[in-house]
Amino acid sequence: MLIDTHCHIQFKPLSDDVNGVIERAKKEGVNKLIVVGCDLESSKKAVDLAEKYDNIFAVVGIHPQDSKKLTDQMWNELCELATHKKVVAIGETGLDYFKEYSPKDTQKTVFKKHIKLALELDKPLVIHNRDADEDSLSILNELGAKKVVFHCYSSDVTFARKVWMSGYMTSFTGNITYPNAQNLRDVIEECPLSAMMVETDCPYLSPQKYRGGTNEPSYVVEVAKQISCTKNMSFSEVAEVTTKNAEGFFRIGG
Ligand SMILES: [Zn+2]
């Protein structure tokens, strides 16, 4: 069994065929899905899906690139939503200095709000970090965040060591299967088993085998296969370890 710990099946075209997406995932042994919001609208949709399907759990938050659009009213609604029993984490939040659609200061302010909310509700944080390694980590450390995953880990191995030293998790997507992604496979080689989770980030980042097409939760199998190959472990061992980690991290065991 595998868990896709980060997907956006509330986005098109996946949202047009949610039953099919879930069925194809189950057929591949992908039995639980964590559906992540990027703004208020997609966070609400994630919760709707979690209410409808037993094996779906929601994460709610405002993506750093949308942080400049956040109003007090939206934040209040998000905080309300975050208390829902099937909301298992806060995110995706963090910093994105690559595109910088929102000014850095605004991103930091909104990021801190998310961290405080997560601490208040005792829920973990799902972090989007792009070209903002040092700031992301120091803000998390400063505010005392304990349960954190760096989703779609795409930084180097030196930074990964700092993430693991803080007791935080790293989660890997289909981009680890790309021919030019040796740097990420180097991270995986060193990644402690206890700090590793798998995800698709679908509909984005299709693994190499399906590149060019729409990504979906069933393809998380390709991510686990790559890890098994890189770490020289059996596929079932990778599945077992990453599932156990995800169940513990998001408290969705049993
Ligand atoms: Zn995402």
CATH number at residue 79: 3.20.20.140
42 in Cβ contact with 12 (< 8 Å): no
Is position 31 within any domain?
Answer: yes
Quote the ligand 1 centre to 141 CA distance (angstroms). 22
Quote the ligand 1 centre to 137 CA distance (angstroms). 19
Is position 254 within any domain?
Answer: no
What six digits make up the tokens of 220?
């998380």
Quote the ligand 1 centre to 38 CA distance (angstroms). 7
Q: What is the reported pLDDT for 121?
A: 98
Is position 185 within any domain?
Answer: yes
Quote the ligand 1 centre to 70 CA distance (angstroms). 18
Quote the ligand 1 centre to 152 CA distance (angstroms). 8
Residue 35 belongs to domain spanning: 2-249
Model confidence, pTM:
0.97
Quote the ligand 1 centre to 67 CA distance (angstroms). 15
Quote the ligand 1 centre to 239 CA distance (angstroms). 21
Quote the ligand 1 centre to 158 CA distance (angstroms). 23
Indicate the number of domains in the chain: 1
Q: Looking at the predicted structure, is the pLDDT value of residue 114 above 90?
A: yes
Helices (H), the chain: 18-27, 40-52, 72-82, 104-121, 133-143, 157-165, 182-190, 220-231, 235-249
Q: How confident is the model at residue 112 (pLDDT cuts 50, 70, 90)?
A: very high
Q: Looking at the predicted structure, is the pLDDT value of residue 254 above 80?
A: no
Is position 180 within any domain?
Answer: yes
Model confidence over 130-159: pLDDT tens digits?
Answer: 999 999 999 999 999 999 999 999 999 999
Q: What is the reported pLDDT for 100?
A: 83
Backbone angles phi, psi at 198, to 5 degrees: -120, 155
Quote the ligand 1 centre to 170 CA distance (angstroms). 14
Quote the ligand 1 centre to 201 CA distance (angstroms). 5
What distance lies between CA 208 and its chain's CA centroid?
19
What percent of the chain shows pLDDT beyond 90?
98
Is position 236 within any domain?
Answer: yes
Is position 238 within any domain?
Answer: yes
Is position 139 within any domain?
Answer: yes
